[in-house]
Amino acid sequence: MISEYNSKEYLQTISDLNYFEMIRELERESQAIDHALSPGRGRRGIEKQYINDAIRYRSIVGGFLFFLRYGIKPGGVSDSDFLTFRTVIEKLVKKGQLKDTILSLFENKNT
């Protein structure tokens, strides 16, 4: 889990993984955030001042996982956050793990 809940930094750290490794890592990261947001039975929670950052981070990580699985833009992700997915998606396209037509979803998005 990225300590500052920086989704751009996190996406950069997973950008060289293959498609299936990326899915596994995103699932692991999502679960770690979920557990931290719902502490109990020996699990430490997130400090109060970071909860909003963690919730936003979880939304973006979960949104990227959704996008990889279904190939459509998640409803809860802003256009500017959605555009941060592009670099990682381009790498998967170059590896031949996604079709290049997926890149058309990034056209006409506001920055």
Residue 78 to residues 62, 70, 85, 87, 96, Cα–Cα distance (Å)? 13, 17, 11, 16, 27
Residue 2: inside a domain: no
Residue 95: inside a domain: yes
Q: How many domains does the chain have?
A: 1
Kindly give the confidence (pLDDT) of every residue in the chain, 111 residues in length, as a single tens digit, with 9 standing for 90 and above: 545 789 999 999 999 999 999 999 999 999 999 988 887 776 677 888 889 999 999 999 999 999 999 999 999 999 999 999 999 999 999 999 999 999 999 987 654
Look up the domain containing 45 and give its range.
Answer: 7-106
Whole-structure pTM value:
0.88
Please name the amino acid found at residue 74: P
